């Protein structure tokens, strides 16, 4: 296993390119199963979650081969309907195979994803939505087994008590593209990654309107075909670099990301006193005054993303006065708070709310990564902390960030990896 070591205290300067979106790449790779023809996907991030998905596609019988580091070609001519437990259990997002397998083969067997450190993660809405389209589900030895005679369009409401569901919306969209008739999804997730999936499916011949709004209409077609697609930029990776500049008092240019996708984060960082300017796909983040505290409530897009909550909390821990975070999407997602406290942060968590009293300085410590975004928060904190921070279990960060240490080094950070003895 590897650990990341950071010697903090250096303001970041320079330019960094954000890569392709992991959360767009995963459903889009799964969607390639909907056709026997070849699909070429570019701007695919080279991260371990994507590597798992490519391995799953290969196990299912697809020819999935990297053409270069960030381009994958998939041809799913003859595929089977059973995803391997050993790979699926490593990545909760593999639940997004349900929709395409049902659409293509009318049957599938995928192991039930467990909860994870960010809390229980039910899939009742995925099952309910696909069931309304005509798929029947049983639970057999820890696997979701599903089959259908025919998928038929209908009206499906995907609202959970925490808002909309991203992967649930994507599953239903994918199955509905080849269902008979029209499907209307109400309370659909509006995330840019859902829009990117819809635009990929449209290139495959699907008829979809309303992606990016709460109501999506899909008119089923008989078959989909191959195409080429470039994945959108990763707004969470871009946002993570922005928080790195914020916490170190830096001045950086993040290239490649649509500022509209980062509106909620930009608004909060501006409230905290940062200077942010953007032009097309370039965002400049500059700190020229002390950081102020603020209040953040996480919500589905276009609200403040839960996937940026941990990184912003690290920044808040050095803010003047106090800040509040209310986590409405995953109310238990505060594993990073205890590790930040070990670095000197003053954070109190009660239920879905964290109160952060800004401190003058964080200090380096040995800390444990618990999930993808929590580990990003520890890196952010380490960049500002006095002394040396060692982050253990960094495989969590490699699930969703391509070469984060290399990219931060290019901005002047003193960060490197070592192998555990």
Residues noted as catalytic: 116
- Among residues 304, 330, 334, 401, the one that binds ligand UD1 under rule CB under 6 A: 330
Q: Which residues of 170-188 are buried (b: 16+ CB within 10 A; e: fewer)?
A: bbbbbbbbbbeeebbbebb
Number of residues that bind ligand UD1 (CB under 6 A): 21
375 belongs to the binding site for ligand UD1 (CB under 6 A): no
Looking at beta carbons only, is 12 or 93 nearer to ligand UD1? 93
157 belongs to the binding site for ligand UD1 (CB under 6 A): no
Minimum gap (Å) between residue 112 Cβ and ligand UD1: 12
Confirm if 297 and 269 have CB atoms less than 8 A apart: no
Q: Which stretch binds ligand UD1 (CB under 6 A): 101-109, 115-123, 237-245, 348-356?
A: 115-123
Determine the Cα–Cα distance for residues 276 and 79; give it in Å rounded to an integer.
48
- Expressed in angstroms, the distance from the first to the final Cα of the chain is 8
Looking at beta carbons only, is 54 or 329 nearer to ligand UD1? 329
Confirm if 389 and 8 have CB atoms less than 8 A apart: yes
Looking at beta carbons only, is 109 or 399 nearer to ligand UD1? 399
Q: Which stretch binds ligand UD1 (CB under 6 A): 12-20, 56-64, 164-172, 363-371?
A: 164-172
- Among residues 166, 198, 232, 354, the one that binds ligand UD1 under rule CB under 6 A: 166
Minimum gap (Å) between residue 37 Cβ and ligand UD1: 25
- Among residues 4, 10, 19, 23, the one that binds ligand UD1 under rule CB under 6 A: 23
> What would the two tokens of residue 68 be?
């270069």
198 belongs to the binding site for ligand UD1 (CB under 6 A): no
> What would the two tokens of residue 51 be?
């590597």
Q: Which stretch binds ligand UD1 (CB under 6 A): 64-72, 143-151, 161-169, 375-383?
A: 161-169
- Among residues 162, 212, 302, 393, the one that binds ligand UD1 under rule CB under 6 A: 162
122 belongs to the binding site for ligand UD1 (CB under 6 A): yes
Q: Which stretch binds ligand UD1 (CB under 6 A): 122-130, 134-142, 280-288, 356-364?
A: 122-130
165 belongs to the binding site for ligand UD1 (CB under 6 A): yes
Q: Which stretch binds ligand UD1 (CB under 6 A): 69-77, 142-150, 160-168, 213-221?
A: 160-168
Minimum gap (Å) between residue 260 Cβ and ligand UD1: 17
Minimum gap (Å) between residue 357 Cβ and ligand UD1: 26
Looking at beta carbons only, is 104 or 399 nearer to ligand UD1? 399
Looking at beta carbons only, is 168 or 319 nearer to ligand UD1? 168
HEC readout, the chain = CEEEEEECCCCCEEEEECCECHHHHHHHHHHHHHCCCEEEEECCCCCHHHHHHHHHHHHCCCEEEEEECCEEEEECCCCCCECCHHHHCCCHHHHHHHHHHHHHHCEEEEECCCCECCECCCCHHHHHHHHHCCCEEEEECCEEEEECCCCECCEEECCECCECCHHHHHHHHHHHCCCECEEEEECCCCCHHHHHHHHHHHHCCCEEECECECCEEEECCCCCCCCEEECCECHHHHHHHHHHHHHHCCEEEEECCCHHHHHHHHHHHHHCCCEEEEECCEEEEECCCCCECCEEEECCCCCECHHHHHHHHHHHCCCECEEEEEECCCCCCCHHHHHHHHCCCEEEEECCEEEEECCCCCECCEEECCCHHHHHHHHHHHHHCECEEEEECCHHHHCCCCCHHHHHHCCCCEEEEEECC
- Among residues 19, 134, 153, 168, the one that binds ligand UD1 under rule CB under 6 A: 168
Minimum gap (Å) between residue 306 Cβ and ligand UD1: 5
- Among residues 16, 57, 98, 125, the one that binds ligand UD1 under rule CB under 6 A: 125
Give the contact letters, 55-94, x = binds to ligand UD1 (CB under 6 A), - = no. Answer: --------------------------------------x-
Confirm if 37 and 395 have CB atoms less than 8 A apart: no
160 belongs to the binding site for ligand UD1 (CB under 6 A): yes
Looking at beta carbons only, is 49 or 82 nearer to ligand UD1? 49
**Sign (positive or negative) of CA dihedral 48, 50, 51, 53:** positive
Minimum gap (Å) between residue 261 Cβ and ligand UD1: 13
Contact residues toward ligand UD1 (CB under 6 A) are 23, 26, 93, 121-126, 160, 162, 165-168, 189, 193, 306-307, 329-330
């Amino acid at each position: 296993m590897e650990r990341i070591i950071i010697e903090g205290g250096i303001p970041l300067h320079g330019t960094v390119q954000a890569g392709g979106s992991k959360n767009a790449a995963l459903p889009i790779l799964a969607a390639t199963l909907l056709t026997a023809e070849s699909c070429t996907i570019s701007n695919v991030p080279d991260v371990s979650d994507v590597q798992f998905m490519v391995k799953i596609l290969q196990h299912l019988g697809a020819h999935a081969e990297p053409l270069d580091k960030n381009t994958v070609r998939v041809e799913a001519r003859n595929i089977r309907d059973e995803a391997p437990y050993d790979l699926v259990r490593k990545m909760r997002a593999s639940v997004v195979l349900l929709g395409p397998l049902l659409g293509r083969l009318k049957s599938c067997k995928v192991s039930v994803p467990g909860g994870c450190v960010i809390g229980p993660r039910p899939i009742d809405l995925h099952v309910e939505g696909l069931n309304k389209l005509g798929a029947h589900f049983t639970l057999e030895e820890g696997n979701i087994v599903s089959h259908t005679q025919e998928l038929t369009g209908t009206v499906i409401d995907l609202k959970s008590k925490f808002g909309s569901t991203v992967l649930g919306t994507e599953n239903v969209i994918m199955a509905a593209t080849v269902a008979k008739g029209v499907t209307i999804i109400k309370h659909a997730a509006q995330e840019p990654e859902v829009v990117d999936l819809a635009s990929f499916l449209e290139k495959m011949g699907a008829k979809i309107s309303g992606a990016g709004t709460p109501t999506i209409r899909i008119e089923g077609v008989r078959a989909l075909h191959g195409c080429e697609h470039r994945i959108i930029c990763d707004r969470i990776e871009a946002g993570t670099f922005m928080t790195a500049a914020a916490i170190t008092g830096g001045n950086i240019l993040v290239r490649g990301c649509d500022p509209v996708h980062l509106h909620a984060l930009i608004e909060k960082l501006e409230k905290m006193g940062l200077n942010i300017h953007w032009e097309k796909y370039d965002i400049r983040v500059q700190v020229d005054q002390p950081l102020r505290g603020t209040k953040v409530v996480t919500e589905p897009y276009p609200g403040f993303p839960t996937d940026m909550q941990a990184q912003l909390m690290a920044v808040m821990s050095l803010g003047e006065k106090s800040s509040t975070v209310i986590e409405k999407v995953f109310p238990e997602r505060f594993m990073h708070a205890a590790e930040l406290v070990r670095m000197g942060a003053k954070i109190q968590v009660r239920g879905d709310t964290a109160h952060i009293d800004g401190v003058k300085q964080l200090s380096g410590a040995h800390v444990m990564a618990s999930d993808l975004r929590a580990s990003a928060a520890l890196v952010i904190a380490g960049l500002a902390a006095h002394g040396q921070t060692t982050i253990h279990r960094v495989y969590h960060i490699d699930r969703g960030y391509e070469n984060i240490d290399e990219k931060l080094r290019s901005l002047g950070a003193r960060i490197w990896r070592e192998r555990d003895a």
